[in-house]
Chain A
Amino acid sequence: MKKDLLNEALGFINEAYIHEAADITPKKRISLKKLPMLAAAILCLAVLTVGVAAIGMRYFVPGVGILDDGSMSVYISEGEIKLGEGTIDAILVTDYGDHKEANIWVWRPASMGIIGTVDGRVPAELDNVYVVAADGSLIEHRGGGMATEGFSNYIYPDVPSTESITIRDNSGNEVTVPLTDLNKSEYAGVEGIRIGEDKTFAAIPVADSANLIAAEFYDPLTVELASDAASVSAHCIAATVTETDEYGMIAGSIILKGVDNNRNGSSGVMDVGSKCYNKGITKLMPKSINLNFHYDITSDVPEVTFPLPEVGETIEVDLTVYDSEYFTLKVTSVTNSEEGLQYTYDIQNHIDDPTFHISFFDVDDYIYGAVDYMNGQTHIKNDHARINVFNMNMDHERGTFITDHSDPDFPAVPIEPGTEITISLMMMTCEYHPENYNYQDPMSNLGVIDFSK
């Protein structure tokens, strides 16, 4: 649905509802009538102790990620680029063989509401940036996004050359920027740090600015888990270091701004704090990395059934609602309480990593039954309709359920105890803490990325 249409419609929302919601206080707090309780045992978070070793053969490219040497060719601009009155932080062209893609990074703090000069830097107020094609036509960006602190990157999916790139702004200012093979640039061989078996954390200053840090995290399990997820959010806390004491110990650590980044799970690399603006960082230490995988499950989960207990009754069941190589999720009992249906669960984690666990999930419960009613002018008739039972409208006097279809056009369906209820997994969120360092103990820091070298 188009956002403009939706927005216009929301402009006509009944004023009473707006007033009703104007002041929400704990008195109006929402009580969930059915919240699956997680087994407490899964919340065990182990602190892994792993060694650190420099990673060779991999390097980190801002906007692209950590690359295996030779997997693709990357060309990068060196130094800031002036375009009219604006400044472009970095241009990066990746040659994928069949096409060449450009990433252009621009600092536009006004887009984040940051007005004026920041730390002496004059922000770019470019209305648009085009890449000039070989025939002189203008190539518009096809994607991109806004990072923290007003950094934006624009993606141009097919640019003509890896030797140089010509860009133009709205006012017709144009500049041709030579590109350097990354392997021959100052970023060649940038080392990440190994923070666990096959896990890498890498960060580099972007272009020639030590204030602009891009950081990413790579780990095969993360990639695997992310591949099926509807969305992934990553949160990284790292310490930035601006100085060391006389013994070379780290002094004056501060927390690098953590970034939540929603990213489609198809990506192989998680951004965990990219493009943060911090003044004078010389070193960076990863402190903790938390990942959340959100799964909207619509297929490939079994439907399981149980007879609706009497109100107040609990029945023991053994229903597998999800079974994968990662874990098995079972419903072990169902209680028909005054509040609605309540389930207890058993989760068997098959991954030998206690920092990976299911943090939340929910099941859909429904019956299959016949419906035959008029919805306006439409006759709805289905002998095997899936009718959701959200448990919000209990009929305590009769001790029966009524479906959640409070629409008067949709008939309420009474459900007697003994009625076969079907459930299936609807969504779940998994948490993964690949590393969790002891932030309080500077000696426990397992790796430092030194930008000053």
Chain B
Amino acid sequence: MQDNEIISMLEDRDESAIAQLVLSYGRLLRSIAENILRSSEDAEECVNDALLKVWNTVPPVKPQSLCSYAAMVTRGLAINRYNSHHADKRVHNTTPLDELADFLTTGETPEDSIEAQALAEAINAFLAKLDADSRILFIRRYWYCDSMASLASRLNISENNLNVRLYRIRRKLKQHLERSHLL
């Protein structure tokens, strides 16, 4: 079923829209949640929460891409849930986001004055200039939080190979943010 058909069902308050959403994107949403939460039970609850949130927000929201919208909702809920579980910061799990944040850390970061929106614009501009392969790689690792092993496997490349690719992308992003005076 096409996105616009599911959106129409959501607008008509047709509950079978959720089933269609699960049919179309359930696996993707589940993988996003699992990548972040590393727990199938938590991921399942998170996806259910995300489906409810999609139901509650569409309408009035009319997403251009239902897939992206549902993915963004799932990711946000998963990260909130992850942060909530690790609020005491006594466990030192390293997530893909830590990997990127650490790399972008400099001794002179003026980040207190940086707004997320400005940073997002810079990252979007950076992604626009990247070749598609690199962009997909970046998004899969740092947005979908794919593990190195699973991403290397999906792309049919070695983890070392992947490591180098990501290192170069991170380095280019760092240069881009430095030139944009965001680092």
Asked whether A17 lies within 8 Å of B127 as measured between CB atoms, the reply is: yes
| Contacting residue for B111 out of A5, A35, A145, A376, CB 8 A | A5
Contact B71 A18 (CB under 8 A): yes
Q: Does B136 sit within 8 A of A, measured CB to CB? A: yes
Closest to A18 in B: B68
Instruction: State whether A30 and B165 are in contact (beta carbons under 8 Å apart), knowing that A6-B101, A112-B38, A113-B37 are contacts in the complex.
Output: yes
In the complex, the answer to whether B123 meets A22 with C-beta atoms within 8 Å is: no
Q: With a CB–CB cut-off of 8 A, which chain B residues contact A392? A: 131
Whole-angstrom distance from the CB of B179 to the nearest CB of chain A? 5
CA distance A21 to B31 in the complex (A): 13
A interface residues, tally (CB under 8 Å): 60
**Interface residues as binary, A97-108 with B (CB distance below 8 Å gives 1, 0 otherwise):** 000000000000
Residues of B close to A28: CB separation below 8 A: 132-133, 136
Give the size range of B's interface with the partner: 35 or more
Residues 140-183 of chain B, each 1 if its beta carbon lies under 8 Å from chain A, else 0: 10111000000000111110110111011000100010011101
Question: In the complex the two chains form, is A407's CB within 8 Å of B176's CB?
Answer: yes
Return chain B residues, CB-CB under 8 Å to A343: none
Report whether B139 and A145 are in contact in the complex, using a CB–CB cutoff of 8 Å. Answer: no
Alpha-carbon separation in the docked complex, A10 to B145 (Å): 12
Complex alpha-carbon distance, A35 and B119, angstroms: 32
Chain A residues positioned under 8 Å from B22 (CB to CB): none
Question: Contacts of A452 on B, CB cut-off 8 Å?
Answer: none
User: Which of these, A20, A32, A429, contacts B136 with CB under 8 Å?
Assistant: A20
- The yes or no answer to A75 lying at the interface (CB within 8 A) is no
Contact B67 A111 (CB under 8 A): no
Q: Which A residues fall within an 8 A CB radius of B?
A: 1-3, 5-24, 26, 28-32, 35, 111-113, 115, 127-128, 141, 143-146, 152, 154, 262, 294, 359-360, 362, 375-376, 378, 390, 392, 404, 406-407, 409-410, 427, 429
Please, could you name 20 A-B residue pairs with CB atoms under 8 Å apart, sorted by A?
A1-B101, A1-B111, A2-B111, A5-B114, A8-B116, A11-B72, A14-B124, A17-B124, A22-B68, A24-B155, A29-B156, A29-B157, A30-B155, A111-B86, A143-B92, A145-B92, A360-B158, A360-B161, A375-B179, A392-B131
Besides A13-B123, A30-B134, 8 new A-B residue pairs in contact (Cβ under 8 A), listed by A number: A6-B104, A8-B116, A13-B143, A19-B67, A24-B154, A26-B156, A32-B165, A375-B179
